[in-house]
Structures are given as structure tokens and as C-alpha cells.
Amino acid sequence: MKSSLEILPAREATLSEVLDRILDKGVVISGDLILSVADIDLVYCGLRLVICSVDKLGEMTGVNTTEPTNQPRP
């Protein structure tokens, strides 16, 4: 694959890029996720996503997010 460079004006950027740049971190977005195989819906998940940077998460929870941890996950 050749090296490539793409330069896009902001107004031609994707919606996800607009959200990345303009939406405040900490906003909660809800949505649905349905996992299906061969057109059969198997699993439904109601999602609540918090748009948040890792640094902000560290500030809010008091957890040092920049250091790896050896604590077992719950």
C-alpha cells in the first residue's frame, strides 16, 4: 500500500469526526445494539455511552489512568 495523505475541510468531515471535535466530553448518548446472525436477532443490548477522555475519566473517578494496573478486574 502506498503512503497516502487526505486533507478534508471540516464541513466535509464525517459526522463522527464532527462529534469528536464539537461534542463536549462527558455527554451521555443512549442507543441500541442488536447482535444477529443470518437475519435472526439473538442479543439486544440497551447502550448508554459516555463520551469521555481517559484523562477526564481519571479526574472524575480519582483513578490514575496513565499507569498500568495489576489489580484483577471484577
Closest distance to other proteins from the beta carbon of 53 (Å): 5
Report the relative pairing of strands 28-37 and 40-50 from DSSP bridges: antiparallel
In the shown chain, the binding pattern of residues 34 to 63 toward other proteins, with x for contact by CB under 8 A and - for none, equals -------------------xxxx-------
71 binds other proteins (CB under 8 A): no
DSSP-assigned beta bridge partners for residue 43: 35
Please tell me the distance from the alpha carbon of residue 8 to that of residue 19, in angstroms, as a whole number.
Answer: 16
Q: Which residue reads 469526526 in cell numbers?
A: 17
6 binds other proteins (CB under 8 A): yes
Going by C-alpha positions, the residue among 9, 33, 30, 6 that lies closest to residue 21 is 9
Closest distance to other proteins from the beta carbon of 22 (Å): 5
Residues that bind other proteins (CB under 8 A): 1-13, 15, 17-25, 27-31, 53-56
